[in-house]
Amino acid sequence: MKLEGRVAIVTGGGRGIGRSIALTLAEEGADLVVVGRNPESISETAEEIRSIGRRSLFIKTDVSIASDVNSMVEKCIGEFGKVDILINNAGITRDSLLVRMKEEDWDLVLRINLTGTFNCMKAVTKYMMKQRRGRIVNITSIVGVTGNAGQANYASSKAGIIGLTKSIAKELASRGINVNAIAPGFIDTDMTISIPEKTREELLRQIPMGRLGISKDIASCINFLVSDDSDYITGQVIHVNGGMLM
């Protein structure tokens, strides 16, 4: 087990990609802090992690609120004494074309996806700097690179995450902290479930591998990026999309 003795925080760990990431890290030996707004779903993930023999804490947190995030990280330190890994996975969409996009939907998506990632990185950094070791992986998106009609807010937040990742990777490289991003393509989760069948078929035609991704496809890549196998990799955006963007 590559992550024995490591402590990881996963935001949005109650369902979808975040849940798969949390369980995969636990299977590799990590102890977990599972973060989200819905106590029921994060407690279920935490319970499942305990059932495979790892320690686990669930902490109700809205990543867009800095004081919530700071108190979550302090609880993690109180319980486990350290934090080795941060996965910024929490994210939302509020899609509409620009002319109809409400200012509140613009603000909310930026606040949760981008400011939430900033809040969590800021809160763990002082502890990781003291340890002179840390791994941060931020979940961006293919549309943060390509743009997407109807997703100006979401694509901007995800493009922002790429700039944030590279900047902080440069700031922290000399401190033993690696900061990378993963850009998923289209992954079968609650977020994509409402895509109409016709659009889904069109999307499938754009994916050379001929299938949507599953959460585990992202979790497996995370596993590599937080292990010692990726020691010399920082500031990168790894695309996991079945060949959709080359």
Where in the sequence numbering do the catalytic residues fall? 154
Contact criterion met (CB below 8 Å) for 186 and 146: no
- Under DSSP, the state recorded for 35 is E
The one segment of 26-34, 55-63, 78-86, 202-210 that binds ligand NDP by CB under 6 A: 55-63
* CB distance 11 to 32 below 8 Å: no
160 touches ligand NDP by CB under 6 A: no
47 φ, ψ (degrees, to nearest 5): -65, -45
- Whether 243 contacts 207, CB under 8 Å: yes
- 175 touches ligand NDP (CB under 6 A): no
By CB under 6 A, is residue 15 in contact with ligand NDP?
Answer: yes
Q: Which of residues 94 and 175 has its CB atom nearest to ligand NDP in the complex?
A: 94
Q: How many CA atoms lie within 13 A of 110 on its CB side?
A: 10
- Asked if 58 touches ligand NDP (CB under 6 A), the answer is no
Restricting to residues 125-154, which ones interact with ligand NDP according to CB under 6 A? 139, 141
Footprint of ligand NDP on 77-96 (CB under 6 A)? 89-92
Q: How far is the CB of 195 from ligand NDP (least distance, A)?
A: 9
User: Three-state SS for 126?
Assistant: helix
DSSP string, 179-206: EEEEEE--B-STTTTTS-HHHHHHHHHT
Reported residue count of the chain is 246
CB of 241 to ligand NDP, least distance (A): 9
Q: How far apart are CB 51 and ligand NDP at their closest, in Å?
A: 20
| For ligand NDP, the closer CB: 6 or 19 | 19
Distances (CA, A) of 53 to 5, 43, 80, 97, 180: 12, 15, 15, 47, 28
Of 17 and 26, CB closest to ligand NDP: 17
Q: Interface residues with ligand NDP (CB under 6 A)? A: 11-12, 14-18, 36-38, 41, 61-64, 89-92, 112, 116, 139, 141, 184, 186-187, 189-192
